[in-house]
Structure 1
Amino acid sequence: MQIYLLATNFLALAALILGLGSFSGGRRSWRLVPLFLLVISRSLSLIVYLSVSNSSDARLLGGLEVFSAFCLVWTLVDFPAAWPTPWPLLARVGVAGAIILVSLALIPGWPVPSPLHSLVIAVFSTPFILVSAGGVRWPHLAVPFILAFGNFLSLLDLTTPAWLIYLLAYVFFISAIHGESVLTFRQKYAERQQMAEALVQEAIDSSREQQRWLEVSEILNTIPNLNQSMEHIVRSMAQATHVDRSAIFILDAQGAGQARLATLYNPQRPLHLVRQAEVRFDLEHCPPLQRSIETQEPLLLPQQNINGLDSLYGLWREDRAGPTLIQPLVIKGRPVGALMLGNPVTSRPIRPSDMRLCRQLAPQIATMVEHRRRYQELEAEAEAMAETVQKKTQEPDRHLAILETISDGVVVSDASGRVQLVNQAAERILGKLRWELLDQPIGTIYGEIDSGEPIENLAAAFSRRNQPLPTFFESDERAIQGRLIPWRSPQGEWLGIIAIFRDVSREVKADRARNDFIAALSRELRAPLTAIKGYSDLIVHGEIDEYSPEQLQVQRIIHSSADQMAAVLDNAIQISAQNRHKVLPRFEEVQVAAIIEDALRDLASLVRLRELKLTQHIPADLPPVAADPKHLRQILDNLLSNACRFTPPGGKVALQVSVEMERAGNTFHPRLLLTVTDNGVGIPRSEQKRIFDAFYQLKSQRAAEQRGMGMGLAVVKDLVELHNGRVWVESVVGEGSTFYVSLPLTQEY
C-alpha cells in the first residue's frame, strides 16, 4: 500500500508538471485546477496512511481515492467553447453527481464501498471524455476503462491487482496529457508557421506596392508642362489602377464651398478642359465629394451605395455610376482638391491596393494641383496686368485731362514724399506755378493747406488710422479745405500721398458769421446761467435760508434746467468748432473709471430731481484707454443726460463698462465698450439712424422738458468717430433704449 501511494504521488506530480507546459495560459488553463487537487489528494492519502491506522482512516483513504478518480477524469474532459445543446446541462449534472459521490464516500458508516463510487464516476465520465476530445483518443479513453476495471477488482477484494491497475491508469493518464502537450506544440508551431508565411507574403506585397508606388510617382514627375499636368496625372492614375474614369477636382480659393472639374480621363471620349472652360459647381450639390473633403478621409462607395454620385458623374454627362473612390488632396491640413477613381462601365470594385496607392500619392498630387492652381492665378494676373498696361498705354492722357478739368486742386507725391503731379486748380488755389511745386517735399504743400497741427503729428496720426485725414487752412484772405489720402497698391504697399483741396473762402465767411453769433450768444447766456446755477446750488444744499420742500423742489428744477441749458451751450460751441474743421483729438492714456466718477457726481442732482435709480458696473481691472479726456467726458455727459431726461420718474438708468475683443481681418483687438441703458420712452426703428443727425428731434417727444436742440447725439457721433470708434443704439418703443460706444484701447493700428 505504501509503495502504491508513493508511486501515485510521483505520477500525479509528473502529470502536474506536464500540465503546466500544456495548459498554462489560454482557454484551457482551468485544467490545472484538477491536476493540482490530484497532487494534494495523493499527498493526503500518503499522510493518512502513515498515521495511526483505524477504521475512520480507512474511510478517509477510500474517500480520497474517489476524489482522485474524479480529478483524473475531470482533467481529461476539455470543455469546448460551444458544445451541442444537451451536453452543457449533462456536464453540470455529472459534476454535481461526482461531488455528491465523493462526499458520501467520506461519511463514516456509509454502507456503499468507495470503489463502487469510483467505478460509477469512471463509467459515466467516458462519454464526456469522448465528446470533448472530438473523436477517439485511446489514451484518454483508456484511463476511465482501466479505473473502472481496477475498482471492479477492489470490489472483489483483489487489492494488490487493483493497485497495479490503478498505477497503469496513472501511466495512461500521463500519456494522455503528454499527447495533448505534443498536439498543443504542433498546433502552436503550425500557427507560427502560418503567421511567418503571412508576414513574408505581407512583406512581398508591401514591397510590390512600394515598387508600384515608386514607378507611378516617377511617372507623375515626368510632367511635360504645367498646362498638361492635370491630364498627365489622371491618365497615369487610370492606367496604373485600371479604372474606367479618373478625374481631379480643385477647390476654388476665392469662393467658399465652390469647386471645379479640372480634368477627366475617359479613354472612350478624351476631354481636355482649358481654364476658361472648367466646370464649376457647389460642393453641397455633391454630398460624397463634400463629405470626403470636409473629413479629409478617403471615401469608398461600392456598387450598392452610389447615392449622390449622379450629380458628380453628370458633370461630364455620364449617365452611369459605379464603384467610386474619392481621395482628398490636402497640404498641411488645408484641402486643395480631390482625386476620383471610378468604374461606371465595368462596375469592378476598387481594390484595397489601389486605395493605398492613392493615399500614398495624395501628397504628391496635392502639391502638383496647388502648383497648377497658382500657375493659373499668376497667368490670370499676368493677363490682367497686360490688359491694364495696354489700357494705360492706349489712354495715357485721359486721366490727366480729367484732372486738369476738375475744380479741386490735386497734388500727388511718390513713396519718398516728392511731388510728382499737380493740376491747374492746384496752381490757382496755391498761387504757385507747376514747376515750382514738382519734385518738392509734400511738406511744402501741406503748409499751404493746413494750419492746425505740425505735419509730423498729422503724419503720425495718418500712419495709425490709414484713412483720409482732413486738413484746413485759414488766413485773413482765404480758406482752404482738403484731405490727405493714402495711396497704396492692392497689396498694401505704400506708394505715396494724394492731396485734394478746394478754396472755401466764401463758405467760411458765411459760417464764421453764424458761428460768431452762436459763440457770442453762448457767452452772453453763460454768465446769467452761472449765477442762476450757483444760487440754486446754495439753496438746494441748505446754505441759504430754510425753504419748504415745495420750494426746494422748484429750486432743483431751476438747477437742473440750468445744467441742461449749459449742456446745450457746450454742444453748440462744440458743433460750431467742428463746423470750422475736424480737430484731431489729443490722445493720452486715460483712466476711464475716474472720468466716469466725475461725470456721475455732476449728474447726481439731475438723477435726484427726476427720482431715478442710477446703477453702474465698472470692472476694477479696467485698463487705460488712449483717448482725449475732454472728448470722452463730453460723450459720457451727453449719453447719460439724454438717458435721464427721456426716462420717466421712478425709472432706471444703467452704465456698464467692459473690454471686448473685436475681429479686424485675421486678428482680434481689445476695445472699450460703454453701454448706457434706460427704460424710458424708447426710439422708433424708423428714427434710430436719424437721431445722430445734428438738430434732429424725435417726432414722438411730447413733454416740453424733454425737448432739446438735437445736438447732443450728433456731438457724440462726431467725437466717437474721431477716436476711430463706433456708436449705435438698440431700442424698443415703450421699453427703453441702449446706447453702445466702442472705442479702441490704443490708436496704433
Structure 2
Amino acid sequence: MTVELATWLDKHRVHVLEQWGASLEAVRSGSSYATTAENGDVLVHEPSRILLHLESLYEGLIQAAQHNHDLLSARLNDVVQISLEQPANLPDMLYAFAQLRRIIRDELRHADEDRNTVFDLIDTMSVLLDHAIDIVSRLWADNVSFLTERMSIAMEDADRAAFNLSVINSVAQSLASNLETLDSTSIIELVGNRIFEMLQPGHLSIWLPDENDIYGSLSPRLSAVRAWGAAAEVVQQMHLEIPIAVAPTYNDLLLRCYLESQKMVEMQPGVGPSIQGVWYQPGMGVFVLPLLVKDQARGVLLLQDTVPLDRFSIERQGLLVAIASQMTIALENVRLYRKIQRFNSDLEQLVQQRTSELATEKERLQTLHDISAEINSTLELDRLLYTSLEALAKITRVRYGTIMLMDKETEHLVNEAVLGFSADEVDTFTRFAIGYGVAGWIAQYKRPVIVDDVQQDERWIEIPDNDPARKHAGSLVAVPLVAHQEVLGVVILSHEEVNYFHDDHLRLLTASAGPIAMGIHNARLYTEIVTQMEVRSTLVQRLRESETRDTAILQSLADGVLVGDINGRVLSVNPPGADMLGSTREELLLLDLQTILNHVLGKREEELPLNELLSHPTNKDNTPRRFETTVNIGMRVVNMRLGPVLLEDNEMIGVILNLRDMTREVQSDRLKTEFIGTMSHELRTPMTAIKGFTQLLVMGSLGPLNDTQREFMTTIQTNAQRMIDIINDVLELTKIETGSIDLEIRPLHLAEALSGVVSDLQQLADEREHNLTISIPPGLPLVQADANRLYEVLYNLIANAIKYTPRGGSVWVEAHEADADDLPSSVRNYLLSNRRYTQIDVRDTGVGIAPEEIDRVFERFYRTDNPLKVEAGGTGLGLSLTKPLIEIMGGYIWVESELHAGTTFSFILPAAQNVKTS
C-alpha cells in the first residue's frame, strides 16, 4: 500500500504543497502563539520557519513511502539544527506535520476513490508521519543532550573565569590600597607569593634590569630580584648580560623574551643549563612572560615545572598575563613616583641654587648698570676708569685692582687706574710689553684668565723690591678690554688669598669689560674729535684762503674750465669757459654737464661719455680715464677734454671739462692741408697724362719700341702709378684731417666685405704661394661701418700681410665678438662698458716687426727695415690711412708682432646691436 501512497503524494504534490504552505503562511502572518520560558521570557512560536524546507520534506516523505528514508532523515536533521538556534521550536515542527496530516486526510476524504483504499492510504500516511515525528523527536533529544553538556562545560569555564577575575581583582586591590607605602621589593613579594600560592609551580622567579642611576636609567644586565621554589636561593644571586640583539638560533628563552618582548613557552625544552642558561632547572617545562610597558619589556616573569601541560595551560597563561600586567603597572607607577620624588628634591635644590644665582646675578646686573650709567654720563677717562674699577672691586669684595691701557705709540700696557694704594705709593708708569707678564699675555691672546696662585704661574713677574705695590702671594682675575676687535687694555683684580676667584667672578668681569672698553673707546674718540675739530678749524681757515687763491687762478686761466660733482652737476665755471660755450656763468651753473655736452656735441655725445666716466673713472691699471674731442662752437674750433677729479686713493670727487680754443691752430692746419690738397690735385693732372701716354707707348699704339725703350717706358709707367697712389693717399689724409671725408655708416655683414677683398687679393696670394684662410663664426653681429672705408682697411691690412710674408707662408683673417677681458689694457681704456664690439685679426707668418719699430708703423711714409721691403713696394701711407679710418668709424687698431715669427694686426668696430643685454 506504500507504493500507492507514494504515487498518490506525487500526483497531488502541487496541490498539497500549496495548501500546506498556505496554512503555515497564515500562522506566520497572524496566527503565531506565545509561551513563557523558565526564566520568564516570552517565546513566540512561528511554525512557518519550516516553510523554506517544505518541498524537500515532501520529497523525503514520497521516498520514505517507497522505503527509502535517507532523504527524509537528512532534511529533518537540517530542520532540527536550524530549530535548535531558536527557543521552543519542537512544537512548531509538530504543528507543521499535524497540518500536513489534516490536509492529506481532507483530500483523501473527498477523493473519488474506493472507501477501503482511502482508509488504507490514510492509515499508511499516519504511519509515515508518525515515523517522521519519531525521527524529529529523537534528533531533538540527542541535540538537547549535547547542548546540556556544553552548558555544563561553559558554566565550569565561567566559574574558572570568575575565580581568575577574583584573583586579579584581589591583586589589583592589594597593589592599589598600598601604592604610597609599597616599594618595588614589596610589590614583587606580594605578587610573587600570590602566583606561587595559586599555581604551585616548581620554580618561579622575577627578573628586572639593573638601574644605572637614581633616575632609573637601565643597564645592560638582567638580575633575578626574587625567586620561589626549586633553587630559589641560587637563582636569586644570578645576573645575565643582555646582548645587543638576539640571533634567530639563540636558545636562551629568558633573554629572547626580554629582547623580543614576547612570551616564550617550551613544554619540553630537552636541553640543559649549558644551552638554555644557568637559570634553567633540568627536566622542567618553561613559561617566560615579559613585563611590558608601552610594548617594551621592563622585566621577565619566569615559571618552570615538571608538569608544564597542567601548570601552563592556556587559561593559566591568560591569568598570569593579567597578574603580570598588574604587577608591571604597579612597578612602573612606583618607579615613576620615586622618580618624581627625586625630581622634586632636585628641583627644590635647583630652585634654591637658582635663587642664589639670581641674587648674585641681580647684584652683577646692578654693577653693570652702574658702570653703564657712568659710561653714558661722562666722557672723562680718569673718572670712568676709577668708577668702573671701584664697582668691580666692591662686588667681588677685593681691595686691589688696576686698569692698564695700551699706549698706541709704544704698544705697552700702562697703569691708568689703581686701587689699594695711594698715589704716592704706586709707580703709575709701570709698563708691560705685549706678551710679557700676565697682563701682556692677556693682551696678546685676548683671553680672560684666573690665576689661582700667582707664585705658581710662570707668567707672573715680580715688581722690584723697593716698590710697595709688589705682590708676594695671592690670586688674581683679569680680562682684556676689547672694542671693535682692538685691545685697549686689561682689567686686573687681585686678592691676598690663594684660589679666591671663581668662574662667577670671571663672568662678571667679562660682562663688564665690554661696556668699559666701549666707554674708553668713546672717551678717547671724544678727545680725538676735539683735537681734530681744532685741527680742522685751522684747516678750514687755510682752505678758505686756498679756495680764494684757486678761484682767482681759475678765473685768470685762458682755457675754459667747468667743474662738476660726482652726479654731473656744474659746480664752477670760469669766464673763458662760459665765453666759449656762448652762455653766462649763471646760466651754466643751473645746468648739469650732460645737458651741456648734449647741446654742444649733438649726435657726437658718445665721444665724451659722461655717465661712463662717472661709473668707471679709472682704467684697469688705476690711471685716470680721459676722453677728448674737437667740435665747432659758432665760429670757434674748441678742443674738449673730459676727465675725473681723483684723490690720492683714486676716490672720485668730481669731473672736470677743459675747453681750449684751437681756432687759429685749425685754420693754420687747414691752410696747410688745403695747400697740400691743391698741390696734390695739380700734380695728379700731369701725372695722369704721363701715365696715359706712357701706356700708349708701351702698348705700341704710337709705333714699335725696342727692348730698351720698352723697359724705360715700363719703369716710367710704374713710377707714375706709384706717384698717383701717393697723391691719392695724401688726398685721403687731407680729407680725414679736414673732416671733409664722407661716411655712410650702416650695419654691414663682415663676410660680404671680406669676400670682395679676398677676391681682389687672391691672385696676389696665389702668386706668392700663400695659404689664405678666412674664419668667421656663425651668428657674428653685424658691424657698424662705412662699406668703402671698411674695404680699404681690410685691403691694406691683408695686402700688407701677403706682401711681407715670404713665399709659401700663411695668412689668417679671423673675426669674433670682442671680450673686454681678453683685450690689452691699452685697448680697454678706449671701450665703453655698455657697448658690443666685433674684433677682426689679420695674422701672418711673415718677417715680423722689431719691438722698437712697433710704435712707428702708423706714421706717414714710415716703412720698417726688413728683407721684403723693396720687393713689397708701397707708399708708406697705407697704415697711416688705416688707423684714422678705423677711429672715425668708432673703432681702434693695435698690432702685436715678433721678429721673424709673424705679425697680427687687430682692430675692433662697434657692433650694429650696440648695447649689451644681460
TM-score (norm 2): 0.42
Point out the structure with the larger helix share.
Answer: 1
Higher relative contact order (CA 8 A, sep 6+): 1
